């Protein structure tokens, strides 16, 4: 039996230039490629932002088998060749088919030495870390070629979702090619479809879209982008290409193209204009066919600085006070897409230093922060928020970020963590800061526990920022000034107003707005607020007490942003009319 060797603890970053140079030197010294071929692949990888090892196969310089052997030698990993032992499903309860197929990690041996995994991509550490979390065995690794993985997975997991789904097609499947899986794969791999999907994704990134919606209609496929919080139609794809376009996206996200009756979730990383961008992909069957949504996570556009997010000096002081607490819970609330996670990351960046141990539990990991241990939730193997939190508490962290408190169990563990000396940051879906207490009590958290653990609540929304290149002074500045002062008298003590209105130019795609900024309200849970929580006082009374100590509502914070010429009164009303 081939000796098993554990993968390097610090696996190289496959996107780094150092990996391109080191692996290229290894290939040259091994005699597999000449210097001209290696330099050609390195230039292509540097230009496109794609991984150097993947470029080698795309350019036809190395076969998948030769690449697997080379990576195995480079990483000190043996090559797994199926057929040496009988195929059998291992740890099916902890490593279900959906996880194995999506991450291309095949459990091949379980003995007294531990669990051996055959992996297609040994440089992708996220699924490997997930397996470590849910198994009690020592983990060893081998590398397997994509072709060998597909054959083994087909034999082992076909009935569990790896092969063609049986049953009637979903409603709206009018294209005959949708009934033929192989024809569907072929059509999704045709050059025109690949170019169309690539163009849609590139256009979305260029437009600074946060979401791409691909929605089948009776006679076409509608493509819409969400830019700065608002939707716009950008493409109409002919109905004959509907199945191929959706299948192409599912192939990119490693989803089952044959499954059209159930929702699926996946992710994909693509190099767009030389920048690596992550996409969260979700599909759901509708009356007219499958709808696909891609969440665009462009880390290059995010600045984790409080002023860049729209917080003013007084708010920044409060946020910094909160992150300096030794324990307790800090919550950021608001609807989906209101910038909650970005605010939490910025708070973590403020306190991240070598003397502080920080863990995050996220679904997914949106931004990778150096010096912070980030854990990706993997529901397919029961690695959910509560399971991760219980494991993390054994590592004695100083701070824990929970991506979202979704249920009572997660909320209770967060409370317990704060009671045992940890500072916990998380998000929750509520309309205002004061209503958060009511929401947590409704989830089953006792009021006396909330009073002793809550340290602060931030509620926020995102408004569109006026384009700095084309906005102009407001045409009715005097009337608007009077209205703002009537709504918020405290504005009269500020600097002179700079009221502006949108115009539209090439930089903002004629919308008059470019980018977004936060409007927020912050409640500090001091002794007064704590007493009201213990007395089960309504949210309105908590807000009234907070006002006596300088509390400013989201609406009023929005008015201050209007006063400063950053946004418009219409934008503030759009996002705060229900608050």
Q: What is the tens place of the pLDDT at every residue in 411-441?
A: 999 999 999 899 999 999 988 899 999 999 9
Rounded Cα gap, residues 457 and 441, in angstroms: 15
Q: What is the mean pLDDT of residues 226-231?
A: 92
3-state SS record for 126-175: HHHHHHHHHCCCCEEEEECCHHHHHHHHHHHHHHHCCCCCCCCCCCCCCC
In DSSP terms, which residues pair with 139 in a beta bridge? 115
Chain mean pLDDT for the chain: 85
Q: 536-550, pLDDT tens digit by residue?
A: 889 899 999 999 998
Question: Range with the lowest mean pLDDT among 37-41, 143-147, 177-181, 200-204?
Answer: 177-181
Rounded Cα gap, residues 418 and 403, in angstroms: 16
Going along 262-378, which residue ranges are E strands?
A: 264-272, 275-286, 289-297, 328-333, 358-362, 373-376
Q: What is the mean pLDDT of residues 107-121?
A: 87
Question: Range with the lowest mean pLDDT among 30-39, 178-187, 236-245, 467-476?
Answer: 178-187
- Exposed, middle or buried: residue 504 (CB in 10 Å: 0-12, 13-18, 19+)? middle
Rounded Cα gap, residues 250 and 275, in angstroms: 21
| Pick from 299, 225, 292: nearest CA to 265 | 292
Could you give phi then psi for residue 14, rounded to 5 degrees? -65, -15
The whole-number pLDDT of residue 174 equals 44
Q: What is the mean pLDDT of residues 23-43?
A: 88
| Pick from 506, 513, 493, 458: nearest CA to 563 | 493
Rounded Cα gap, residues 183 and 382, in angstroms: 35
Q: Is the pLDDT of residue 5 over 60?
A: no
Q: Is the pLDDT of residue 183 over 70?
A: no
The helix (run of H) or strand (run of E) holding residue 253 is none
Query: The whole model's pTM is what?
Result: 0.69
Rounded Cα gap, residues 195 and 198, in angstroms: 5
The full length of the chain comes to 579
In DSSP terms, which residues pair with 464 in a beta bridge? 516
Backbone φ/ψ region at 222: left (φ over 0), alpha (ψ -120 to 50), beta: beta
Q: What is the mean pLDDT of residues 503-511?
A: 90
The whole-number pLDDT of residue 185 equals 64
| Pick from 93, 137, 128, 107: nearest CA to 380 | 93
Is the model more confident about 405 or about 12?
405
Q: Prior bond to 364 cis, omega within 30? A: yes
The whole-number pLDDT of residue 332 equals 96
Is 19 in contact with 52 (CB distance < 8 Å)? yes
Is 251 in contact with 257 (CB distance < 8 Å)? yes
The helix (run of H) or strand (run of E) holding residue 423 is strand 423-428
Q: Is the pLDDT of residue 3 over 50?
A: no
Long-range CB contacts (within 8 A, 24+) of 147-154 = 147/64, 147/65, 148/80, 148/81, 148/82, 148/118, 149/104, 149/106, 149/118, 149/120, 151/82, 152/82, 152/87, 152/106, 152/118, 153/100, 153/101, 153/104, 153/106
Is the model more confident about 212 or about 288?
212
Q: Is the pLDDT of residue 168 over 60?
A: no
Q: 249-285, pLDDT tens digit by residue?
A: 998 888 888 888 889 988 888 888 777 788 999 999 9
The whole-number pLDDT of residue 579 equals 52
Rounded Cα gap, residues 530 and 447, in angstroms: 10
> What are the angstrom distances between the C-alpha of 72 and each of 84, 110, 147, 228, 281?
18, 21, 16, 45, 31
The whole-number pLDDT of residue 153 equals 80
Give percent of the chain with pLDDT exceeding 70: 92
Rounded Cα gap, residues 382 and 95, in angstroms: 9
Rounded Cα gap, residues 143 and 80, in angstroms: 6
Is the model more confident about 270 or about 457?
457
Q: Is the pLDDT of residue 171 over 80?
A: no
Rounded Cα gap, residues 465 and 565, in angstroms: 9
Rounded Cα gap, residues 457 and 526, in angstroms: 11
Q: What is the mean pLDDT of residues 207-218?
A: 91
Label residues 180-194 b or e (16+ Cβ within 10 Å = b): eeeebbebbeeeebb
| Count of beta carbons in the 10 Å neighbourhood of residue 207 | 17
The whole-number pLDDT of residue 380 equals 76
Q: What is the mean pLDDT of residues 80-84?
A: 73
């Amino acid at each position: 039996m081939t000796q098993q060797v554990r993968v390097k603890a610090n696996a190289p970053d496959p996107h780094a230039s150092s990996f391109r140079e080191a692996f290229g030197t290894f290939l040259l010294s091994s005699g597999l490629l000449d210097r001209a071929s290696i330099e050609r692949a390195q230039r292509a990888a540097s230009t496109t932002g794609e991984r150097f090892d993947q470029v080698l196969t795309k350019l036809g310089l190395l076969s998948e088998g030769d690449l697997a052997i080379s990576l195995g030698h480079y990483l000190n990993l043996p090559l797994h060749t199926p057929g040496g032992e009988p195929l059998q499903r291992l740890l099916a309860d902890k490593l279900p088919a959906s996880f194995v197929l999506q991450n291309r990690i095949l459990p091949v041996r379980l003995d007294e030495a531990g669990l051996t995994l055959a992996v297609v991509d040994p440089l992708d550490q996220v699924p490997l870390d997930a397996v470590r979390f849910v198994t009690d065995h020592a983990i060893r690794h081998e590398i397997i070629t994509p072709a060998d993985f597909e054959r083994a997975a087909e034999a082992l997991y076909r009935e569990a979702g790896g092969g063609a789904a049986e049953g009637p097609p979903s409603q709206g499947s009018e294209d005959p090619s949708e009934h033929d899986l192989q024809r569907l794969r072929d059509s999704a791999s045709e050059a025109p479809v690949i170019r169309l999907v690539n163009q849609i994704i590139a256009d979305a990134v260029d437009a600074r879209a946060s979401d791409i919606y691909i929605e089948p209609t009776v006679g076409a496929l509608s493509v819409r982008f969400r830019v700065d919080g608002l939707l716009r139609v950008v493409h109409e794809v002919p109905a004959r290409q509907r199945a191929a376009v959706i299948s192409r996206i599912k192939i990119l996200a490693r989803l089952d193209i044959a499954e059209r009756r159930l929702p699926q979730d996946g992710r994909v990383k693509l190099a767009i204009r030389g920048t690596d961008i992550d996409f969260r992909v979700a599909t759901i069957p509708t009356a007219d066919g499958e709808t696909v949504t891609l969440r665009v996570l462009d880390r290059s556009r995010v600045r984790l600085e409080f002023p860049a997010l729209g917080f003013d000096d007084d708010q920044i002081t409060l946020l910094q006070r909160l992150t300096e607490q030794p324990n307790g819970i800090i919550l950021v609330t608001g609807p989906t897409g209101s910038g909650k996670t970005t605010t939490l990351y910025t708070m973590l960046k403020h306190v991240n230093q070598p003397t502080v141990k920080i863990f995050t539990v996220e679904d997914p990991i949106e931004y990778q922060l150096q010096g912070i241990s980030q854990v990706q939730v993997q529901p397919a193997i029961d690695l959910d928020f509560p399971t991760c939190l219980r494991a993390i508490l054994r590592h004695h962290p100083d701070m824990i970020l929970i991506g979202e408190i979704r249920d009572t169990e997660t909320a209770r563990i967060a409370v317990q963590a704060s009671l045992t000396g940890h500072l916990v940051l998380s998000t929750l879906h509520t309309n205002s800061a004061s209503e958060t207490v009511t929401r947590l009590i409704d989830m089953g958290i006792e009021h006396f526990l909330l009073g002793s653990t809550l340290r602060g609540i931030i509620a926020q929304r995102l408004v569109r920022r006026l384009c700095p290149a084309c906005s102009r002074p407001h045409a009715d500045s005097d009337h608007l000034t009077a209205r703002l002062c009537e709504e918020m008298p405290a504005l009269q003590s500020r600097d002179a107003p700079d009221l502006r209105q949108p115009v539209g130019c090439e930089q903002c795609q004629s919308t008059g707005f470019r980018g977004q900024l936060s409007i927020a309200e912050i409640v500090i849970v001091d002794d007064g607020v704590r007493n009201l929580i213990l007395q089960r006082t309504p949210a309105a009374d908590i807000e009234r007490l907070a006002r006596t100590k300088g509390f400013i509502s989201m609406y009023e914070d929005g008015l201050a942003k209007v006063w400063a010429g950053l946004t418009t009164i219409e934008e503030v009303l759009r996002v705060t009319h229900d608050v």
